[in-house]
Amino acid sequence: MEIRPILLSLKHNKAIAILIIIQVALTLGVLSMSILMTMGTLKEWNLPSGIPHENIISVEPEFYDNSIDVRQSVIDDIERIKQLDGVIDITPVSEKPFAPQQVVSVYLESDEEAQAFQTNIFDSNVAGPRVLDLKLISGRFFTENEVLFGSANELKQPTSVVMISEQMAEALFNDGPAVGKTLWLEKGAKPASIIGVYSNFMNSEQLNRQGQSYRTVLRPQVTWANNVDPNYLIRVEPGLAPSMLDTISNVFYKTPGRYLNRVEVLTRTQKRMYDGRGSRALIFLVISAVLVLITAFGMSGLVSFLVTQRKKQIGTRRALGASKWHVVRYFLLENAIVTFIGLVIGMLISLFLVLDITQNSGTDFLEVGYIFATAFFLLVVNLVAVYLPARRAANIAPAIVTRSA
Amino acid sequence: MFSYNLQLAIKSLKDRPSLTLLMVAAIAIGLGLYMTVLTMATLSENVPLSYKSKNLYLIQLDNREVDAQEVDLQARMIDFTYKDTMNLMALDTSAKAQTFAWSTLGILNVEDQNIHPLRSRLAATTNDFFTMFDTPFLYGGYWSKEEDQNGASVIVLSKATNEYLFGGIDSVGKQLRIDIRVVTVVGVLDYWYLSQKFYDRSYSAARPDQAFLPSSFAFESDLPRNARFDCWSTETNSRQFRNSNLEQLQNSECAWITYWAEIEGESNLEDYKSTVNQYIESQKAFGRFPREVAKMNDYYTNINDQISYENGRNGMITYLAIVAYMFFAVCLVNAVSILLAKFMRRSKEVSLRRALGAKKWVIMYQHLLEVIIIGFMGGVVGVIVTYFGLQGMMRISLYSSDYTIMARDLLPYYQLNWAMIATAFLVAICSTIIVALYPIWRICNVSPASQLKAQ
């Protein structure tokens, strides 16, 4: 191998080598920082939702006229929506998948020091599991007469039964049976017994971040208070959801004194959950891609300059019996050595930046594996960028030595 | 001499067009990103009402308990209680005008059932708000002092709200409802751009209030208080005040109203401070303001000072800026190597010229000219890249707000202006010259005739 001559020639051509090193180091710094931030923010991007969210429409009505009879309007709403073509089922809910407002704690014991389990509680009527298309894992779904229906003042007693998701059951009871057990939804309140376990569906961004994406409790209850009216989830036939938004919002607007915050397909709710993180990741990735291109082009241009400059030496080597591959190898090796030094410095820069950001933001982005992978990727890109002009060098005829000089 | 060198420079640029192109592209893209971030940062850090911002003071009163924690930053200091707001408004001070504001929410609706109701961010304030903050009016005007005192049911709409509810006509005198309370439109604002909504201390961007109404009316109607309550002594659950127990809130030691005074000149400010201090002393008789008065003088902050504090806190732009600077650096390093390659190819020609008597500075002059042309071209393309970069950023910002922000409200934060374009060219040319220093030094030091002997 010609490592010694390469080092000697690099010593001769210090300026260019240093430039390449700086460029590679900075590129690695930007690239690995972008990739680490992207990976850190998008960890949960591809988790399945567990529900046919593209066929579910959510409606968030709100009465600004407090004289309206909410009980009657809930009955009317359900009646009217069910009559629409394409609607499979509708349920009033307190929270919706992807966007519940409140993370709450539930307990397995009633005493003060009981361990708290974070979750989201979803209220719905008996149609809830059908709308969300939940599968029964064990136990049973709740029945019509188990559902409490009334304003917050009217409901004196909390629900006596609840259902929990598979992941919730796992968190609470490990592998043991969940059905028949007791659950405290509030400290000191009356507990509820678990009557069934259903298949997982996605909860909120807050829990998502903690790897608890499927912890949910389903409570058979429809209730409302001043300024807090029931929302609705409506499942429609596949493919119809986007076209039914207007029809559905018109039905809701038939009741005067009401405002609709949002009428949307749950896909949009899901999108919103990732919006901030997604767009940030997008910006950084686009920037990184452009940067890699620029570095590759720069490297290519530089090597083709070197090739022109060394025409005669290459010809001499060829005349002395070096094969074409030897010439290409020389350039590849030279570049690999320089790039490698750049990558080592770049890794230090990346580590420094990531640690700095981690300290400032409190989120831990650092995954050394990604930095190594990025470095390797850059090395490959550089070698490809060098290979093309180097092949041209290999085609220099040995006879060039005999000319002019 | 100049034209000869210019000719040489242009000839050299045309010589290897791919290298020239690569270099212009490297500078333009690096500059584009850099300027995109710089423009975004500059525009979002603009001081609103800059022509009078130094006279507009936010006043904060420290009515907390003796053992309350020291506040190290003005921004963390609490605002006004209802009591102090009313008392201070009634005092005769050296301020040119005083006002206060708090945020509320309401659903605006009109009789026409085809126009769906509009959930709105509302500001409850007084009539001096409009003169102090120079709001532009499209139709009508603001309400009067008497209407402030009577709690008149009047409203001033923003331009967008007027367009939504009334189709953009002159709606002065028309009636609409906030929830179920009927109010009459007295004025419609023209498009009112504030780079940061300072008056409620949210410093939010692109989310203007949709209507303004007298605070007295808002209290009478018990509209919800969309505020943070800093409560002292007895109060524990302050969130309840958002929707209920208004009377208790008004008598409490909860601070939640932002208080503003327009004060011209140092001496007026001193007078104002002493009036306020006297007021505080007088309140001490009722057992209020247990803390020392002397420390309070730091809590007269004009808009300039507030904004400069807020500006250091935009995380996203800070990250982007780090990346953009490094990106630009990579592009410049790239340009150095390309330039080096380009110049060194000409060693022979230069050594011939030197041998024939050309001075070093002539060679330098020629190459400098070439570099400046490259820098200029990089500037032109860079400005175009910046334009598209800003457009892209705006789209992303719309997307990430889930289209709840209107494009028109966002536009001012992503608009290229002449100052920015000039900066872009300056940066382009300066940076290319810096980039070219080493290659030019190398080419100038080619010794005469040294490259000729092989031929």
> What is the arithmetic mean of pLDDT over A99-113?
86
Shortest Cα–Cα distance, B190 to chain A (Å): 26
> What is the arithmetic mean of pLDDT over A356-362?
69
Shortest Cα–Cα distance, B78 to chain A (Å): 26
Nearest in space to A69 (alpha carbons), one of A258, A231, A259: A258
Mean of per-residue pLDDT scores for chain B:
88
d(C-alpha B60, C-alpha B77), whole Å? 7
pLDDT-derived band at A1 (thresholds 50, 70, 90) equals low
- Residue B124 burial (CB < 10 Å; 0-12/13-18/19+)? buried
Nearest in space to B337 (alpha carbons), one of B438, B202, B420, B232: B438
Q: Using CB atoms, pick whichever of B29, B117, B400 lies closest to residue A275.
A: B400
d(C-alpha B216, C-alpha A319), whole Å? 97
Under 8 Å CB pairs connecting chains A and B tally to: 124
Residue with tokens 């066929």: A55
d(C-alpha B257, C-alpha B215), whole Å? 11
Residue with tokens 């230069």: B350
Q: Using CB atoms, pick whichever of B322, B397, B454 lies closest to residue A405.
A: B454
Percentage above 90 pLDDT, chain A:
37
Contact partners, residue B222, CB within 8 Å, separation at least 6: B246
Which residue type occupies A234?
Answer: I
- Rounded to 10 deg, the angle between the B266-284 and B82-90 helix axes is 120
Shortest Cα–Cα distance, A405 to chain B (Å): 6
Q: Does B5 or A106 have the greater pLDDT score? A: A106
Nearest in space to A29 (alpha carbons), one of A342, A283, A300, A296: A342
For residue B336, the chain A residues in CB contact (below 8 A) are: 19
Q: What's residue B455's pLDDT?
A: 45
- A120 near A202, Cβ under 8 Å? no
Q: Using CB atoms, pick whichever of B33, B109, B334 lies closest to residue A23.
A: B334
Q: Which residue in chain B is spatially nearest to A227 when comparing CA positions?
A: B243
In degrees and rounded to multiples of 5, residue A392 shows phi and psi of: -65, -40
> What is the arithmetic mean of pLDDT over A360-377?
78
Q: What's residue A405's pLDDT?
A: 45
Instruction: Give percent helix, percent strand, percent coil of chain B, each to the nearest 5.
Output: 55, 15, 30
Contact partners, residue A83, CB within 8 Å, separation at least 6: none
Q: What's residue B310's pLDDT?
A: 79
> What is the arithmetic mean of pLDDT over B366-371?
89
Binary contact (A19, B345; C-beta < 8 A): no
Shortest Cα–Cα distance, A147 to chain B (Å): 29
Q: What's residue B231's pLDDT?
A: 85
Binary contact (A357, B344; C-beta < 8 A): no
- B111 near B159, Cβ under 8 Å? no
Q: What's residue A44's pLDDT?
A: 66
Whether residue A296 lies within 8 A of chain B, CB to CB, comes out as no
pLDDT-derived band at A360 (thresholds 50, 70, 90) equals low
For residue B30, the chain A residues in CB contact (below 8 A) are: 294
Binary contact (A282, B396; C-beta < 8 A): yes
pLDDT-derived band at A371 (thresholds 50, 70, 90) equals confident
d(C-alpha B347, C-alpha B444), whole Å? 9
Q: What's residue B452's pLDDT?
A: 66
- A365 near A354, Cβ under 8 Å? yes
Shortest Cα–Cα distance, A258 to chain B (Å): 8
Shortest Cα–Cα distance, B56 to chain A (Å): 33
Q: Using CB atoms, pick whichever of A26, A271, A280 lies closest to residue B329.
A: A26
Shortest Cα–Cα distance, B390 to chain A (Å): 12
pLDDT-derived band at B159 (thresholds 50, 70, 90) equals very high
Strands (E), B371-428: none
Nearest in space to A371 (alpha carbons), one of A29, A53, A92, A58: A29
Q: What's residue B447's pLDDT?
A: 80
> What is the arithmetic mean of pLDDT over A262-283?
82
Q: Using CB atoms, pick whichever of B179, B316, B341 lies closest to residue A301.
A: B341
> What is the arithmetic mean of pLDDT over B11-40?
87
Q: Does A322 or A2 have the greater pLDDT score? A: A322
Tens-place pLDDT, residues B206-223: 889 999 999 999 999 999
Given a cut of 60, whether residue B235 has pLDDT beyond it is no
Q: Which residue in chain A is spatially nearest to B26 when comparing CA positions?
A: A294
Q: Using CB atoms, pick whichever of A26, A268, A279 lies closest to residue B396.
A: A279
Binary contact (B119, A23; C-beta < 8 A): no
Interface of A with B in 328-387 (CB under 8 A): 353, 357, 361
Binary contact (A259, B119; C-beta < 8 A): yes
Q: Using CB atoms, pick whichever of B19, B29, B400 lies closest to residue A290.
A: B29
> What is the arithmetic mean of pLDDT over B253-263?
93
Given a cut of 60, whether residue A404 has pLDDT beyond it is no
**What does DSSP assign to residue A83?**
T
Given a cut of 60, whether residue B296 has pLDDT beyond it is no
Give B160-191 as a DSSP string.
HHHHHHHTTS--TT-EEEETTEEEEEEEEE--
Whether residue A298 lies within 8 A of chain B, CB to CB, comes out as yes
**What does DSSP assign to residue B446?**
P
Give the pairing of strands A216-224 and A117-124.
Answer: parallel
Question: What is each CA distance from B183 to A176, B115, B151, B174, B190, in whole angstroms?
Answer: 62, 17, 11, 9, 20
Tens-place pLDDT, residues A28-46: 888 888 888 777 767 666 6
Given a cut of 80, whether residue A328 has pLDDT beyond it is yes
Mean of per-residue pLDDT scores for chain A:
86
Q: Could you tell me if the ipTM is greater than 0.85? A: no
d(C-alpha B322, C-alpha B395), whole Å? 22
Q: What's residue A280's pLDDT?
A: 75
Q: Does A71 or A227 have the greater pLDDT score? A: A71
- Residue B123 burial (CB < 10 Å; 0-12/13-18/19+)? buried
- B290 near B113, Cβ under 8 Å? no
Interface test with A, best of B222, B318, B326 (most A CBs within 10 A): B326
Tens-place pLDDT, residues B88-146: 999 999 999 999 999 999 999 998 888 999 999 999 999 999 999 999 999 999 999 99
